[in-house]
Structure formats: C-alpha cells, structure tokens
Amino acid sequence: MAQQETDEQINDGFVVDTEDCEARELAHRERGTSRPITVVGNPVLHRECKDVTEFDDGLATLIDDMFASQKTAEGVGLAANQIGVDLKVFVYDCMDDEGVRHVGVVCNPVLEEIPAELRALDESNEGCLSVPTAYAELARPDYAVVRGQDPQGNPIKVRGTGYFARCLQHETDHLYGYLYIDRLSKRDRKDALRQMAEGTPRYETVPND
C-alpha cells in the first residue's frame, strides 16, 4: 500500500493537507505513470462514476498514476474519469487564494450544503483539462467542504476557500458526470467548445471515436 496521506492528521475534523506537500506529491508521482487525458464527448466523463469499495494496492496505484498525470498536464486537480477510470476518486495539488498549497486525495466525495450566510459567489474564470485550451467565467461559492474517504477508507473532510474551493467543487462535479461547461449558458458553452476546437492541448489526450 501507499504511505498514508499526511498520517491522517485531523484539525477540527478536517484533514491537514498543507504539510509536506512537496514530498508527498513527489512520492506519488515517482511511483506513478502518466496517462492521457479524456476529453469532452468521452462517455466516461458524462455519467456518474462508481463508488470506491476496495481500498487496496490497485487504488494506491491509480492514485499514483493520477498524480503523475496531473503533473504532466500541469493541472491543479484530476478526477479518475479524466484518465478513463470509472471510480469516484480525485487528487489535487492546488493553491488557495492566500497562496497556501494543498495536496490530497478524496474518494467518494460529497459536497456539503453551505448555508447562504457563510458563502459568497466567486465569478472567476474556470478551465478543465478535459476541455483543453478553453476558459469561461463561472460563478461558484467561494467556500466548499467535501466529505469522503481517504485511500485507506477512513472518513475525512476537506475544506477550501477561493480557488481551492473552486477546485474541490469542480473535481467532485466530474465524478457525478458534470463538466464545468455543463453549468454554463448555451452561448458560453458553445464558445468554450469553439476555443477547444481552435486550440492545441499541451498534453496527450484520448481521441473520441
């Protein structure tokens, strides 16, 4: 099995994902093999993924490969279906708006409902490795909490603000069959797909048949 994520340190019920980021990410990446990225139109991206039920060496290998793939594609988050695997797991290596780095893994994520008084909408640009070279403005809450499990099956909670909150919401969406462009107006979605068609991804992708 892979080493435990951050030794499962918990702070107020939340995983501490800000310590030893460089070493933890590098260890995953060095064990992993980079895989090509699936793009919009691939069926695995457009349906809810299966729950993770086996927290074994196979899952550990998948997580290592996801970190390697994320690094190759220069992403800040990656869901399993973005490398063609039908399982509810995502990895992240993302800065928040305060410049603090977060590195971690969430299996079977569920977004918590945040009371309206605790959140505000952030209308920043958003992109996706599965919609390469395209960006669009999308309003999302600037605070997010995700519940799920760690690679050993233990219950965890992860929270984020600003850009990291956007990442947590974006990756959880993936595992339920939603791309960020599915949350856009028809006009903005069409524009994002145009940007994708006109651009050239900087990483290997899986062609859609």
Catalytic site positions: 171
- E-state strands within the chain: 10-11, 14-15, 37-38, 77-79, 89-95, 101-111, 121-122, 125-128, 131-137, 140-141, 143-149, 155-161, 205-206
Task: Give one DSSP letter per residue of 75-110, joined into a string.
Answer: -SEEEGGGGT--BSEEEEEEE-TTS-EEEEEEEEEE
Please state, as a whole number, how many other Cβ atoms lie within 10 Å of the Cβ of residue 98: 9
Give the dihedral sign, CA 116/122/126/128: negative
Two structure tokens written together for 173:
């969406």
